[in-house]
Chains A and B, each alone.
Chain A
Amino acid sequence: DGGITQSPKYLFRKEGQNVTLSCEQNLNHDAMYWYRQDPGQGLRLIYYSQIVNDFQKGDIAEGYSVSREKKESFPLTVTSAQKNPTAFYLCASSSTQSTNEKLFFGSGTQLSVL
């Protein structure tokens, strides 16, 4: 089945620790995105990538980093600089980054701070 796979489903971070969230897609989509979801705040864009080896900051990129070494993969690292990392993280993809392209979402990773 084609889709987007996020892992792990739950993740715990200790003080000062970097953690990496995995996102893999087999939809052959060019564009991939990371969103953060907090209760009552909708989805906020962290980073996005339109093509391999290229990515751009979204609205809340501080404290996060990404890489796009392969078309299929777009991992997100939550660094120790992100002081309030507890949230539900959603990875998404679309066939292109042009207008009118719908997003396909993964099942999400819930990150909590120990």
Chain B
Amino acid sequence: GQQVMQIPQYQHVQEGEDFTTYCNSSTTLSNIQWYKQRPGGHPVFLIQLVKSGEVKKQKRLTFQFGEAKKNSSLHITATQTTDVGTYFCAGQRGAQKLVFGQGTRLTINP
């Protein structure tokens, strides 16, 4: 079945440092979504990527979808304490259900 692997599982950075999480699928995806879950909270939708090679930005966050539509990344520039949380990617293949990666938990030293 379709699998979505996400690395790293944990990342600890100093405030102001950059952060990147990577998502890899065993199959070609039709789209990929990213969610953020704050500690003690629930996942909140961040963005969706659909096109091959697509790059989208939200302030300090940059999202990329690979040319082969099998991998994706989320990069945060100059992290702030408000960025703390777990970031999940979720891939979809055609009409199949979303498959979530294991998540990357980001902690920040102020």
A40 to B33, CA, bound (A): 19
Residues 38-63 of A at the B interface (beta carbon under 8 Å): 40-45, 48, 58
Contact B48 A100 (CB under 8 A): yes
**Which of A40, A43, A102 is the one whose CB lies under 8 Å from B100?**
A43
Contact B98 A100 (CB under 8 A): no
A87 to B73, CA, bound (A): 28
The total of chain B residues at the interface (CB under 8 A) is 24
Q: Mark B82-110, 1 if CB is under 8 A from A, else 0.
A: 00000010101011011011110000000
**Which of B45, B95, B103 is the one whose CB lies under 8 Å from A104?**
B45
Which partner residue on chain A sits nearest B10 by CB separation? A40
Known: A40-B9, A42-B88, A90-B42. A99 touches B97 (CB 8 A): no
Q: How extensive is the interface on chain A, given as a class?
A: 20 to 34
A105 to B36, CA, bound (A): 11
User: Chain A interface secondary structure, helix, strand, loop or mixed?
Assistant: loop
B41: which A residues are within 8 A, CB to CB?
107
B52: which A residues are within 8 A, CB to CB?
none
The answer to whether the Cβ of B20 comes within 8 Å of any Cβ in the partner chain is: no
The answer to whether the Cβ of A108 comes within 8 Å of any Cβ in the partner chain is: yes
Return A103 CB to nearest CB of chain B, in Å.
7
Known: A99-B92, A100-B31, A100-B50. A41 touches B45 (CB 8 A): no
* Known A40-B103, A43-B90, A44-B100; further 5 A-B contacts with Cβ < 8 A: A48-B97, A102-B45, A105-B43, A107-B41, A107-B42
* 5 examples of A-B residue contacts, CB within 8 angstroms: A42-B103, A43-B90, A107-B41, A107-B42, A108-B42
The 9 closest A-B pairs by CB, nearest first: A105-B42, A42-B102, A43-B100, A102-B45, A42-B100, A105-B43, A42-B103, A107-B42, A108-B42
